[in-house]
Amino acid sequence: MPRGLLRVRGRDTVKFLQGLTTQHVASALEGGGAASYGAFLSAKGRLLGDALFYFPRGEGDDEVLLDVDASFLPGLQRHLKMYKLRSKVKIKDVSSELRVLQAPLGLGLRSAAEDATILNTPTSELKSYAILTTPDPRHEAFGHRAVVPADAAAAAGWDAANDDVYAAILASQGVLEGEALAGLVPLEANVDVLQGVSFHKGCYVGQELTARAQFKGAVRKRLLPVLLRPDSGAPAPARLLPLPGGKGAPVAGWEALSDEDLNGPAAVAAAEAELTLSGDGKPKSVGKVIMPPVPGSNVAVAMLRLEYLMEAKGGGAPTTTHLLAGDGVQAVPLRPEWWGDRVDAATGKIDPGQREAWA
């Protein structure tokens, strides 16, 4: 999907955003990086959508660019203006002036030859025009992003279809953006795993639900990619299969998931939203498909209860053996590489000190 840009400018910019987002904007800015990631919540703590925060150098602390899914931009702009009150900030949609370019392998910042497998754009030209270039702050595997003047992108022949391809790659990795996240709980949507939640900042709109889940509760379900295939009746391996690809290589994973021997068009067409655990007795609902597969892939994004996917507390095997997405369709949960070892098997919460608990 195409991206949009909101510019927040004024002497209260950091303070204003600090009270509205899950990210510690002040800390991210002080850290000297060019970008950060976070989300905006309703007063009840549910997701409105997410954003990447860009900090153009030379503007001091007075300007932040918000890179968002274009469908989420009008709603986010209304949300920000509702809370603006007396804050000394100006909020403007600059999507017609600036373009966000996104590519798994770096917009020419790594290898133009590798980029050519996804992008048909002379990226070296765009690089010279870039106002800002940065690795994706969510995870190194998601490549690079650049902000360029809109006319430069047009002159270089940037194809809007590139945005759709990149969004499809992210979806195959179990990553949702913008309004696709609306109504979900931040931790269940993996905003924390994607480094978008700070648990060491002051109050912000919707904080209570997120803080309570992290410090007093457990995360019982999360978004995961699931492979849809015709049901052979055989159980899947009793563990989360690794998603094809590797560090810095979501494109390799995308190509594998689009491969003909994995592509089950009949399974995709017949798939239902509800995911059930098959076994002795009555099938039990354990999750649902949040986003169906994009064309060319048979990987959907689903919300799944973790208790059926993780090792038992005593080290026993996971209980999941056979997930179904309707008659004749098997759903195989996949473990994204970007999860790393950050999710604790017992609580479902991020725990950077834990060893890998999903192998």
Q: Edge-to-edge strands of the sheet including 98-103?
A: 98-103, 144-149, 132-135
pLDDT of residue 274: 86
Hey, where are the domains in the chain?
Answer: 3-181, 218-339
Concatenated DSSP letters of 97-152? TEEEEEETT-TTSS-HHHHTTT--S-HHHHHHH-SEEEE-SS-GGG-EEEEEEHHH
- Amino acid 273: pLDDT: 82
Pairing of strands 299-305, 221-230: antiparallel
Length of the chain: 359
Rg (CA), the chain: 21
For domain 3-181, which architecture applies?
2-Layer Sandwich (3.30)
* Cα angle value 201/89/56 (rounded, 5°): 75
> What pLDDT does 216 receive?
79
The per-residue pLDDT for 105 is: 56
Q: What is the DSSP letter of 21?
A: B
Predicted confidence pLDDT, tens digits, the chain (359 residues): 689 999 999 999 999 999 999 999 988 888 777 899 999 999 999 999 999 999 986 655 589 999 999 999 999 999 999 999 999 999 999 999 998 888 765 444 333 334 333 333 444 445 555 678 888 899 877 878 888 888 877 766 666 656 767 777 787 788 999 999 999 999 999 999 999 999 888 899 988 888 888 887 889 999 998 888 777 766 655 445 555 444 434 444 444 454 433 445 555 665 678 888 776 567 788 899 998 887 666 788 999 988 877 654 444 445 556 788 887 788 888 877 788 778 887 788 886 444 333 33
**Cβ count within 10 A of residue 351:** 15
**Using CA atoms, how far apart are residues 186 and 280, in angstroms rounded to an integer?**
34
Q: CA-to-CA distance for 276 and 278, rounded, in angstroms?
A: 6
Q: Supply the pLDDT for residue 351.
A: 66
Can you give the pLDDT at residue 240?
54
CA distance 63 to 347: 38
